[in-house]
A and B are shown apart, each in its own frame.
Chain A
Amino acid sequence: MSDRRIEASELHALVDGELDPARQAEVEALLARNPEDAKRVAGYRAQNAGMHALFDGIIDEDLPPIIANELVVQRQWPRRSGAVAAGIALLIAGAVFGWVVRGAMAPVNGGATQIAQTAPPIDTKELMVRAAMAHVVGSDEDLHLASSENIGDTSRYITTRMGKKVRVPQLSSLGYELVGSRVLPDTAGPAAQFVFEETDGARVTLYVRGESADGLDITYALADDLTMFYWNDSKHSYALVREIDDETGREALLKAAKAVYRQIAE
């Protein structure tokens, strides 16, 4: 024998899925004959739908750096990293001078690659030091391994930790397989590093820094035993790094840099 009256609290409980199945069926049946209560239930449901319409968009937003930075694993750099960092910073100070001269004398690949004539819009030294550091001292232990069948996994991993969408470059057609990725703390908010491997095992890394400015073309830099191409778009600055190689290796790396640029520029 069903209770023919509906308690006001049961209208809420119905909306919230808090009624047991038997009573739920009774209440639903009673509502069919009670337009006033049915209207209330519809109103409550509309309020819920309205809250979702108002606020669900926030879920897909980029996380602000103050939050995203907390989500990055505070990794321990290897003990020698202090010295390595200092060394790299010195070398890069030299390289900045080096590439201007080098570039003026022998521009890479004609007009496609330009040498910045004026002060670059991004902190290129910071970018180069961090990218070089990450390339040199990164270990596989904290690398989030990638599988070529599941690029989406890498994309999700990086996007959640950086707090904003980052596209994953695909370079397998150029002979670089994605091995893994990691997110590193950086003064410009979390940075992503993608690690690629050539068929002979040589590592190429792409450092993606949350530093935005427009208008830096792909630029060549050389620091001690590293060669590097860097550029930026409206959302990030990028540096593609590998151990120095001959002229052919450098052309191949430039080709990869252009491919990355085309694929993920924003």
Chain B
Amino acid sequence: MSNNTKRDLLIAEVPRLRRYAIALLRDRPSADDLVQDVVVRALGRLHLWREGTNMRTWLFTIMHNLHANDRRRAARATDDFPLDEAALSQGAPGAQESALELSQLASAIAGLPESQRQILLLVGMEGFSYADAAQALDVPVGTVMSRLSRAREDLRRLMDGESVAQIRRVK
């Protein structure tokens, strides 16, 4: 496979990387900075990507590593900063009712610890298999499954109107 072909594969993934980064970080400028870093890093190491392996998983792995570095560098950010409404997609949902539900869902996702939000987005939105998610995040598959299950149950209860505090107490 030529370098140009690899490059094309990479370029095709960029919009997805960006969707994920915005959903994860809920702040567009930070998300775009992160995606830019990933693109620079990946283009510089394109020769290290092994043909026949999954380009998408490789890119998400790079993204998580860079993001983890950012977080280590920065003062530890809290997981509970408020949702940046502007981070949400402009695509307006159809009905008013579902708009309300969606905004509840967005707040609920924002309320999850980042480690859970990563898994929820990777598996639920990006369609990663448990094995690929485990590889991208460098955690055991069992951890993927337990975090996913916790994230979904928390979301379900948050959507039903329970507060995060109530949920945490139950645990």
Contacts and interface: CB of A to CB of B under 8 A. Distances in A.
Interface of A: 8-9, 12, 16-18, 40, 43-44, 47-48, 50-61, 63-64, 66-67, 70-71, 73, 160-161
B130 A51 contact: no
Give the bracket for the number of chain B residues in contact with chain A: 35 or more
B59 interface: no
Contact of A47 (B16, B36, B40, B124): B124
Given A54-B89, A55-B89, A67-B36, A48 B125 contact: yes
B152 A12 contact: yes
B contact patch SS: helix
Interface string B79-104: 00000000011110100001001100
A56 B89 contact: yes
Interface in B1-30: 7, 11-12, 14-16, 18-19, 22-23
B129 interface: yes
B22 A55 contact: yes
A51 B149 CA distance: 16
Given A52-B125, A54-B88, 6 more contacts: A12-B152, A43-B152, A53-B91, A58-B18, A66-B36, A160-B11
Contact of B89 (A17, A43, A57): A57
Contacts of B102: 50, 53-54
Contact of A67 (B7, B18, B98, B101): B18
B136 interface: no
A67 B16 contact: no
A50 B98 CA distance: 9
A161 to B, nearest CB: 7
A8 B149 contact: yes
Contacts of A58: 15, 18-19, 22-23, 89
A16 B130 contact: yes
Contacts of A161: 11
Nearest to B17: A67
Nearest to B142: A9
B37 to A, nearest CB: 9
B114 interface: no
A54 B32 contact: no
A28 B149 CA distance: 19
Nearest to A51: B125
A229 to B, nearest CB: 32
Given A51-B23, A56-B19, A18 B129 contact: yes
Contact of B23 (A12, A16, A47, A55): A55
B137 interface: no
Contact of A71 (B14, B33, B148): B14
A40 B153 CA distance: 9
A16 B131 CA distance: 12
A67 B38 CA distance: 10
B121 interface: yes
Given A9-B145, A64-B32, A71-B11, A59 B152 contact: no
A7 to B, nearest CB: 10
B10 to A, nearest CB: 8
Given A54-B88, A59-B19, A16 B155 contact: no
Nearest to A68: B14
A12 B149 contact: yes
A77 B32 CA distance: 29
A173 to B, nearest CB: 31
A67 B106 contact: no
11 contacts: A47-B105, A51-B124, A54-B105, A55-B88, A56-B19, A59-B16, A66-B36, A67-B32, A70-B39, A70-B43, A160-B11
Given A48-B124, A53-B93, A57-B90, A67 B19 contact: no
A18 B36 contact: no
Contacts of A73: 7
A57 B91 CA distance: 5
Contacts of B36: 66-67, 70
Interface string B104-121: 011001000000000011
